Chain A
Amino acid sequence: MIRAIRMRVMGGTSRFFRIAIALSSLWLVLFALAPNALLLLVAFFTRSDEHFVTPVLTLDNYIRLFDPTFLTILWDSARLACIATVICLLIGYPFAYIMANVRPNRRPFLLFLVIIPFWTSSLIRTYALILILKSKGLISELLTMLGITSGPVSFMYSDFAVFIGLTYTMLPFMILPLYASIEKLDRRLLDAAKDLGASSWRAFVHVTVPLTMPGIIAGAMLVFLPALSMFYVPEMLGGAKSMLLGNFIKNQFLVARDWPLGAAASSVMTIALILMVLVYSRVSRRGVRNREGGRGSGGALRSEGGMR
């Protein structure tokens, strides 16, 4: 596909494509590359009370990150983000699977339902969750009305509330890539597996899951990384009882005014991102290789490989 576009660009009226590419590159350099490069640079500078930072190079900021406090913060954040990712996957996979298997004319509607929450700021949706979860809130009143509980119950300020908040906010980011990869799945492979005597479960584990692995990993990345730094959900729903990576970074920049340490801490996230992208590209490449080589030469398989 890309090659085809490039061919077209080279010959004939390529001017506007070049401008378009130049504009978007400029945009990315100005607003993505430059700030990140600056941040990385600041991580090696020294803190200053007068001007936030002075350009004296040091590794001290990274050494300070090995402080047990920061390691605890990192561990807590990673644990929270991990659990949220697993919950999103457990809910998102069946959802995406069903969505990819309903009649094609119904799919746009289901996709629409997944996308609707993006029309409202996630901060406001988190406030709405408070109204639902709090004592004398929606759930509490409902339970009392049904006679299940005698007094008001609260789900607020607990890990449970945090996971509800994180799952609710991040779920679409899991569903969308999963849906994309499940939809592409060639059903004939499942038929073949069944013909060869595999149970539905076996076919799912050995055919569906490996073939949709790129979607699983893409979804997990899209959920895990934002969840790692999403500080306002644990703050609002969890009662801010533990400090997370996002809070730590925010604190260094605003309260402690230690920009180099904040920059070093946030570069940890950038490194995590790069590692995950590497894993992703490796897994998806292996996926293609498996399909093209190992499993043989069915026409269906080749058409999959040919997409790339």
Chain B
Amino acid sequence: MKHRLFRDRLFPRFLAAIAVTLFACAGFALPAAAKDAASEEKVLNIFCWSEYLPQEALDKFTEETGIKVVYSTYESNEAMYAKLKLLDGKGYDIVVPSTYFIEQMRHDGLLQPLDKTRLTNLAKLDPTLLNQEYDPDNAYSIPYMWGATGLMVNKKFADPATVASWSDLMRPEFKGRVILSDDVRDVVGFALKRDGHSMNSRNEAEIKKAFDFLNELKPAVRVFDVTAAKQAFISEEVVIGIIWNGDAYIAIEENPDLAFVYPREGAVLWIDSFAIPKGAEHKDNAHKFIDFMLRPENAALVVEEFKYSTPNLEVRPYLPKELQESRLIFPTAEDLKNSEVTMGVGEAKAVYERLWESLKAGK
């Protein structure tokens, strides 16, 4: 009898419940999509790297403007790009791509031009970081955060004063204790710099030569993963290798034996910028947000939390003394000599990718 009860009475109800749930989900999704953009609702959909916007700043923004921030995250430029491309630039109001992805997305028509008259704090930005090749006149993007990928070394294993070049990764005492990034452009970038070439080289011979060096270096490498670098250095799993300056700052706080070096052949620089996708539904709010984050006191919150460099020239007075004086956060011109920003490499990308696969697959 029990079976009967289930079959005849409960099971149909169960099905009905599923159907109701499905319709309810569809019902919630539809009005949001159908809403017209004329009167902008108080929402801002941000699509950004994880741990990249301080919660304090987001709360402050909501408090000030009444605009609710919805923060979705991605782990790589590639993932963000693929998603926006498939959605045809819809669904998000702010994205934070790196240099060569701005170039690519602009080219693909995935971004919309910014209304600069609404960005009142633009004049506070460092002119040397503006008007770059990837986005002339910053028509589509406003720098948010930047940094250097440089070398870190543990003082217990080598005197940091003797470490000045990317070639030092090859020193026999570091064998098996080296960390590299798992990003093809980061790794080949420094190998190209080491040879004195541009890290955005499209010359196949130059790229091959850089890979020859990397193949030679590979047996010394313990890890390919720049996001794990901080932890690996702190626990002394590795003693030398590639790290982002912000992570380096945090690692040194934890383990004072560590030191960061800007290699003399030049560091690999990155700039991440705010941009508004083509199909953004809340572009007024997006402009408000960008201008809000350009205010020095808000930009200071970002530096305090993530320890990366800021393009904002008026942030320093808002920071505690030790951050103000850090060369990791405010590198000198000498530190950045020969450094370069990662750019697109066009057709040569296939060469990079092919050689990278064979580097990784090789023994």
Residues of A at the B interface (CB closer than 8 Å) are 13, 16-17, 19-20, 23, 50, 52, 69-70, 72-73, 76, 130, 134-137, 152, 154, 156-157, 235-236, 239-243, 247-248, 251, 253-257
Give chain A nearest CB distance to B17 CB in angstroms.
13
**Which residues of A sit under 8 angstroms from B361, Cβ to Cβ?**
69-70, 72-73, 76, 242-243
The reply to whether A255 and B235 form a contact with Cβ atoms under 8 Å apart is no
Q: Which of B15, B108, B182, B361 has the most CB of A within 10 A?
A: B361
The reply to whether A240 and B7 form a contact with Cβ atoms under 8 Å apart is no
Chain B interface main SS type: helix
Chain B positions 337 through 363: 1 when the CB is less than 8 Å from some CB of chain A, otherwise 0: 000000000000110011001101110
Partner of B223, one of A69, A76, A239: A239
Partner of A73, one of B218, B354, B357: B357
**Which residues of A sit under 8 angstroms from B184, Cβ to Cβ?**
255
For the complex, give the distance between the alpha carbons of A157 and B321 in Å.
38
The reply to whether A255 and B224 form a contact with Cβ atoms under 8 Å apart is no
The reply to whether B15 and A20 form a contact with Cβ atoms under 8 Å apart is yes
For the complex, give the distance between the alpha carbons of A257 and B7 in Å.
50
Chain A CB within 8 A of B131 CB: no
The reply to whether A235 and B11 form a contact with Cβ atoms under 8 Å apart is no
Chain A CB within 8 A of B12 CB: yes
With both beta carbons as reference points, the residue of chain A lying nearest to B358 in the complex is identified as A69
Chain A CB within 8 A of B8 CB: yes
Chain A CB within 8 A of B129 CB: no
**Which residues of B sit under 8 angstroms from A76, Cβ to Cβ?**
361
For the complex, give the distance between the alpha carbons of A72 and B358 in Å.
9
Chain B's interface size range is: 20 to 34
**Which residues of A sit under 8 angstroms from B108, Cβ to Cβ?**
50
Chain A CB within 8 A of B76 CB: yes
Q: A134-B235, A157-B223, A239-B223 are in contact. List 17 more A-B contacts (CB 8 A).
A: A13-B8, A16-B12, A134-B237, A135-B237, A136-B236, A152-B236, A154-B237, A156-B237, A157-B222, A157-B237, A235-B225, A239-B224, A241-B218, A247-B360, A251-B353, A254-B79, A256-B353
The reply to whether B7 and A137 form a contact with Cβ atoms under 8 Å apart is no
With both beta carbons as reference points, the residue of chain B lying nearest to A152 in the complex is identified as B236
The reply to whether A135 and B235 form a contact with Cβ atoms under 8 Å apart is yes
B194-235 with Cβ < 8 A to chain A:
218, 221-225, 228, 231, 235
**Which residues of A sit under 8 angstroms from B237, Cβ to Cβ?**
134-135, 154, 156-157
For the complex, give the distance between the alpha carbons of A19 and B11 in Å.
11
The reply to whether B360 and A243 form a contact with Cβ atoms under 8 Å apart is yes
For the complex, give the distance between the alpha carbons of A76 and B357 in Å.
13
The reply to whether B222 and A239 form a contact with Cβ atoms under 8 Å apart is yes
The reply to whether B350 and A256 form a contact with Cβ atoms under 8 Å apart is yes
For the complex of A and B, the 8 pairs showing the least CB-CB separation, nearest first, are: A243-B360, A239-B223, A254-B78, A240-B224, A72-B361, A256-B353, A69-B358, A69-B361
The reply to whether A251 and B235 form a contact with Cβ atoms under 8 Å apart is no
The reply to whether B357 and A248 form a contact with Cβ atoms under 8 Å apart is yes
Q: Can you identify 27 A-B contacts, CB atoms within 8 angstroms? A: A16-B11, A16-B12, A17-B7, A23-B18, A50-B108, A69-B354, A70-B357, A70-B361, A154-B235, A154-B237, A156-B237, A239-B223, A240-B223, A240-B225, A240-B360, A241-B360, A242-B360, A243-B357, A243-B361, A253-B82, A254-B78, A254-B82, A255-B78, A255-B184, A256-B350, A256-B353, A257-B78
B67-105 with Cβ < 8 A to chain A:
76, 78-79, 82, 85
With both beta carbons as reference points, the residue of chain B lying nearest to A154 in the complex is identified as B237
**Which residues of A sit under 8 angstroms from B354, Cβ to Cβ?**
69
B110-135 with Cβ < 8 A to chain A:
none
The reply to whether A251 and B236 form a contact with Cβ atoms under 8 Å apart is no
